[in-house]
Amino acid sequence: KLLATAIGGKERFHSVISALNTLKPFAKDNDWVLVHDAARPCVKASDVINLIDQLKDHPTGGLLATRVVDTIKQANNIHIESTLDRSNLWQAQTPQMYRFGVLSKALDNIIQNDLNITDEASSIEALKLKSILVEGSKSNLKITTSEDLDLANFYLESNN
């Protein structure tokens, strides 16, 4: 049953804030909110179920992510500055799952302090809270280029 509709914003976090404001009459601070990016249409139901199962008793929340397996270079323009240690690097995905009250507070903090974030986990980090990483699937890619779209089509067709 549809309870309400939220209007999207200019940036992702504006859209999430709009959604949280829409949920205020229905949600308690301890309720869970899952934020999913429409640019990731290949998320597996089993990964979402695993995310929920892994986080159900956590006080804050977490997100799907995959371990970085490529060598990552930090550069200044086209000149390599350093090679990052990939053993502790993860690639964030969605959905990201947080307690309603915690996420609301984290995003309010982003607005009040004019911080730049790219996902909900970043807003949680800004409050010095810890998120849990739950291993997701490489097929849950973010579509940003035409090549990504081709790969997403491949994943979607192979799962049908």
Exposure on the CB side of residue 72, measured as CA atoms within 13 A: 12
Q: What is the DSSP letter of 69?
A: -
CATH, residue 74: 3.90.550.10
Residue 4 lies in a domain: no
Q: Domain residues for 134?
A: 12-158
Task: Quote the CA–CA distance of 117 and 123 in Å, as a whole number.
Answer: 7
Give the span between the Cα atoms of 121 and 124, in whole angstroms: 5
To the question of pTM greater than 0.75 for the whole model, the response is yes
Provide the number of structural domains found in the chain. Answer: 1
Give the pLDDT of the chain (160 residues) as one tens digit per residue. Answer: 777 899 999 989 999 999 999 999 999 999 999 999 999 999 999 999 999 999 999 999 999 999 999 999 999 999 999 999 999 999 999 999 999 999 999 999 999 999 999 999 999 999 999 999 999 999 999 999 999 999 999 999 987 5
Residue 38 lies in a domain: yes
